[in-house]
Structure 1
Amino acid sequence: MPEGCRACLIAFLLPPVPFGGPKPFPGGDAEYCRMSDASDDRTRVEWREWGSDAFADARERGVPLLVSVVATWSESCRAMAQRTYAEPRIAANINDDFVPVRVNAARRPRVRERYNMGGFPSTVFVTPDGEHIAGATFLEPDGFRQVLQRVRETWDDAGADAGSVPRALSGGEPPAAPLSGDIEGLVAGQLADQYDSEHAGWGSSEKFPLPETVSFALKRDRDRALRTLDAIRRHLVGDDGGCFRFAHGRDWSDPQTERTLSVNAGMLAAFAHAYLTTGDDEYRGAATGVLDYLTETLWTGAAFGAGETPDGGVDDAAYADGNALAADALLSLAAYTGDDRATRYAERTLDYIADELLVDDTVRHYAGAAAPVGLLADRARVTGALTTAGQVLDPAYLEPARAVADRAIADLQDDTGAFVDGPETGAGLLDEPLRPIDDTAAMADALVDLSYLTGEARYRDAARDAIAAFAGAAERMGVQVAGYATAAARLSTRPLVIRVADDPGSELHRAALRMADHEKVVAVGVDGDPGTAWLDTADGDTDAVATPSALAALVADTAQ
């Protein structure tokens, strides 16, 4: 059975899977992978590009569209192209009775989120208005023939009325509630409830690395976090230091051997945070191993590629969100260890983003005229990377961070307080608002940093509104939304904030960055007595100190 099929249940003529919540595959979900072509050489289907022309053609012909959402790393995508779409009779039936559209999941993330059936390939039949008729993931030829027949019959009977809009896109507002400290506690409780005490990690079937969950757990359930990191090191990290996307077995066996930039950037940060927390060189070594993989395998010469296929092919497409996530992780390692290589590659990645992807205070998804502009995921991750750079490298990075954040708030934060995933324009259901909790949380977390670094409460207010928009669902949240819980915690309880009246890279600045709390905020180059540092607390500023040891003692005393 090809990769992905074990979780592939046909959703034919059933309500579409929920959209806008945690991704079906938390560790990667193909956001950083690219199809090199719009078709496969062995495929006789006359694939069209996603866009208004394809939908207009379907409307004119009076037929549905077949939308195939694919990822380059997916063996199932290749298998379906080679076995199912290459079958001449199937291809002829598709070309005659449908308008076939193939979509690169990484290049068009807003399409992916609206038409993802829980895995790749996602095989979705839609009306000329973009509404769902039926959907599945991988299908063998015999099963696909049956689906084609049933969709044709349904279309002949009901026409456009056969379609439906997913609940998350049907105009309903997110489950808002007042923000409180309960969110952190509720999700922290799930760290124990969903934990696999026998094999480590969370879940009872496939095991994903879940780097944001590990990072959240390091402060709230350290033992389980470290046991999970140890399992990941043993089972999912290859000889070259790179981390596989997930394991099919509950015991971390049978790893799926593609690697994505998102997973590896997340794991670099998680291993670095574990080193900061424990001082254990094993975790520093694991972080350095991921650094080796990123710089020796995924580095294109200008930025990081999207990932690597199981057979070793590297996808050199450089996406904004993935590269920003990588830069952020590299800066964490550099801050905790002084690793020059991590610093150098972080700076080069940020230069690439600034030179190629920042456009009029917003972000282009990848370099090219056809790239989507203004996606929430890109803006959130770029804002986060720039605010981290403002703490680790130079406060000058805060100016572009503010510009991107201001434009994102103006463009994407709606009346509910949540952020929509991008401009509400485009073919299919792209003109319908989608409010993704994970990307909203990433933006909120960056805004918390920006508020303390700039002294502007409006950023914290925007973050609070965004997190409160989903707070009514807190009791139903699992460990996969730990990023949301992290942002909620930092809004409900003031994080550790250290202000340093000294130059970036000074001994006192380095000491501040190495205080053992990866959720802290470090403002460097601020006004004050030169060569001093102090804590900015809810009760006001503490007395200033002038040495790393005095700063460590001050942090310890304040934490008691």
Structure 2
Amino acid sequence: MDDSAARTNVEWREWGQDAFDEAARAKKPVLLSLSAPWCAHCHQMDATTYTEPRIAANINDGFVPVRVDVDRYPRVRERYNMGGFPSTVFCTPSGDILTGAGYLGVDGFREILDSVRRTWDGKGEEAGRVPRALRDGTPPSGEVRARIEEHMVEQLLGAFDDEFGGWGSDTKFPLPRTVEFALVRDRDQATRTLEAIQTHLLDTYDGGFYRFATGRDWSDPHREKLLDENAALVRAFARAYRYTGEASYRETAETTVEYLTTDLWTGEAFAASQASDDEYYRMSPTDREDADPPSIDETVLADRNGMAAGALLALHAYTDDESARRYAERALDHVLDELVDDGEVTHYRTDEEVGESGLLADQTGLLQGLTTAWQVTGAYGDAATAVADYALAELQDEDGGAFRDGTPEGPGLLDEPLYPLDTNVELADALVDLAALTGEDRYRERAREAIAAFAGAAERMGVEVASYATVASRLQSLRVFRIGAPAGSDLHRAALRVADHEAVVVPAAEGLDGEAEVVDDGEVTGTAETPDGLAELATGS
């Protein structure tokens, strides 16, 4: 149990079947408190609402309270999230949802407690419901067509904030994958958004990016720093540098890598997050020197480390940053040694507990890092195919289609299958890379099946999932640079720099001796023996 929960007056249980069994025996509802170590509002609710003696007594007497760390239990997070954290969820002993909310103060919590008691006393288990995403099962399928990319370009144009940058008219999230989509299709939108992120979300003293801003003008940032979101922004800024040559983009990526490899480095891999602390982050640099920085959750999460390694290797590909490469390889090696068994990835492991294994998020995040590592370093091929093959065998439906987020079993709603769009997209993207790297088209076909599984809803997708259109586009048309020279050679390094970030670079490709070939949609369109010749091929000049 985390320290914040331990300081409350609530008698929290750990997530697990025992808590639901206890609720069934006592005929009481379950109170799920979804929290995160980095979440300031979660700690505030602990310090106020859950510490109030009468509320705590009411919870302890009438409910079975369960505290859930959403970073350690991603499947619970996806099924019970009420739109942010904290999430306050009341459930039946079988796990069905009675009602839920986000942050609740003392008065609001009293009202919802009374409401839940009345509902439970009146209807019992019959009052519970299963969320629509679980109830409806698999997503609407369709054909992977060029129209998907066209639709997303239209969404970019419609949602872009021309005054302040970014997409949307209220809360601003950085949306790094949307930035990457725009880098190829509307570079002005991408660069204006990156400049807003630099100005408003980058901690210029300690380093690292804050999570998002509540104001349309990027004001009032939420100052937690998460590994996965920082990694995605490193990659976006590195790729922006590749397209524009803008030194500030490279510098931003490099300073963020410095933050990741110092503040978030555990000695073996990357820590999960650093907490928000508004008072600390508003201090001057001088005052910060004498203050304790916000706490760091040193849990090594497999998916986030895979993403971080991939981002650092992307930066190395464009800049030859050797420090970034070494840290990326150390993180990958640690995860492979400690958290992977025959392709099955375990979410985390500490001295006290071991996380779930075979989660889609972990197979995907690690595979992304491994396929990037294969392109950049020429290594990690066997690990990449093992991780991918586990996902294909265990997480995709037998007749193809979307991937489940894990084995549908466990307490509460964990026995209901869930097919998350964003993780399916990321896995499909990595599988497209793997198909080019291995020469095995089966990976590309399984990626197509996953993307097609959601294509019936493509016209309803917004810019938040622009990466769906990226993968759909790559399935329609893919450029591959096959390099007949080892990783690190001049020809290979040139390929990494001239290749569009949606292309694939294959080092030490079979059948080539000291030359490179460009393959467009399976057809060789040109060969070169020198970096300059390869650049001419890439640009068509």
Bucket of the pairwise TM-score, normalised by the shorter protein: over 0.9
* 2:430 aligned to which of 428, 437, 446: 446
| Counterpart residue number, 2:197 | 232
Alpha-carbon distance in 1 for matches of 2:429, 2:63: 44
Alpha-carbon distance in 2 for matches of 1:39, 1:231: 36
Deviation of 1:337 after TM superposition, in Å, equals 0.7
Range moving further from structure 2, 307-316 or 192-201: 307-316
Cα 1:428–1:38 change in 2 (3 A) is: farther
Matched, 1:481 2:447: no
Equivalent residue of 1:93, what SS?
Answer: helix
| Counterpart residue number, 2:285 | none
Kept after mapping to 1: 8 A contact 2:484/2:508 = yes
- Kindly provide the CA deviation profile for residues 320-371 of structure 1, in whole angstroms up to 9, marking residues without a partner as x: 1111110000010001111011111111111111111112211010124531
Unmatched 5+ stretches in structure 1: 1-34
Kept after mapping to 2: 8 A contact 1:174/1:416 = no
Alpha-carbon distance in 2 for matches of 1:62, 1:264: 44
- Kindly provide the CA deviation profile for residues 428-481 of structure 1, in whole angstroms up to 9, marking residues without a partner as x: 000100000000001000000001111111101100000000001111101110
| Counterpart residue number, 2:232 | 266
Matched, 1:317 2:299: yes
Range moving further from structure 2, 163-172 or 106-115: 163-172
Alpha-carbon distance in 2 for matches of 1:422, 1:172: 14
* 1:91 aligned to which of 53, 56, 63: 56
Matched, 1:421 2:395: no
Matched, 1:189 2:171: no
- Kindly provide the CA deviation profile for residues 8-66 of structure 1, in whole angstroms up to 9, marking residues without a partner as x: xxxxxxxxxxxxxxxxxxxxxxxxxxx7348231x111100111111011111111100
Matched, 1:119 2:119: no
Alpha-carbon distance in 2 for matches of 1:170, 1:207: 31
Equivalent residue of 1:68, what SS?
Answer: strand
Matched, 1:355 2:337: yes
| Counterpart residue number, 2:415 | 431
Alpha-carbon distance in 2 for matches of 1:485, 1:380: 18
Alpha-carbon distance in 2 for matches of 1:397, 1:375: 20
Deviation of 1:539 after TM superposition, in Å, equals 5.9
Correspondences of 1:37-436 after superposition (within 5 Å): 37=3, 39-41=5-7, 43-239=8-204, 240-311=206-277, 312-368=294-350, 369-394=353-378, 396-414=379-397, 415=399, 417-436=401-420
- Kindly provide the CA deviation profile for residues 485-524 of structure 1, in whole angstroms up to 9, marking residues without a partner as x: 211111122x220000101100000000001511110001
Equivalent residue of 1:535, what SS?
Answer: strand
| Counterpart residue number, 1:498 | 481
Kept after mapping to 1: 8 A contact 2:137/2:417 = no
Equivalent residue of 2:38, what SS?
Answer: coil
Kept after mapping to 1: 8 A contact 2:499/2:505 = no
Alpha-carbon distance in 2 for matches of 1:190, 1:283: 25
Kept after mapping to 2: 8 A contact 1:276/1:516 = no
| Counterpart residue number, 1:22 | none
Range moving further from structure 2, 232-241 or 53-62: 232-241
Alpha-carbon distance in 2 for matches of 1:151, 1:518: 51
Give 1:531's aligned amino acid: G
Deviation of 1:543 after TM superposition, in Å, equals 4.1
With normalisation by structure 2, the TM-score equals 0.94
Alpha-carbon distance in 2 for matches of 1:216, 1:233: 18
| Counterpart residue number, 2:289 | none
Matched, 1:462 2:427: no
Give 1:65's aligned amino acid: V
Alpha-carbon distance in 1 for matches of 2:512, 2:390: 35
- Kindly provide the CA deviation profile for residues 194-222 of structure 1, in whole angstroms up to 9, marking residues without a partner as x: 11000000111111111111111101111
Give 1:318's aligned amino acid: V
Kept after mapping to 2: 8 A contact 1:532/1:545 = yes
Alpha-carbon distance in 1 for matches of 2:323, 2:140: 44
Equivalent residue of 1:542, what SS?
Answer: strand
Deviation of 1:277 after TM superposition, in Å, equals 0.7
Unmatched 5+ stretches in structure 2: 278-293
Alpha-carbon distance in 1 for matches of 2:118, 2:2: 34
Alpha-carbon distance in 2 for matches of 1:186, 1:433: 29
Equivalent residue of 2:6, what SS?
Answer: coil
- Kindly provide the CA deviation profile for residues 225-272 of structure 1, in whole angstroms up to 9, marking residues without a partner as x: 000001111111111331110111111111111111111101100000
Task: Show structure 1 runs of 4+ deviating over 4 A.
Answer: none
Alpha-carbon distance in 1 for matches of 2:132, 2:62: 28
Alpha-carbon distance in 2 for matches of 1:539, 1:170: 41
Alpha-carbon distance in 2 for matches of 1:389, 1:71: 30
Alpha-carbon distance in 2 for matches of 1:422, 1:486: 24
- Kindly provide the CA deviation profile for residues 109-166 of structure 1, in whole angstroms up to 9, marking residues without a partner as x: 0001101000111000001110000000111111111111110110011000000001
Deviation of 1:544 after TM superposition, in Å, equals 2.6
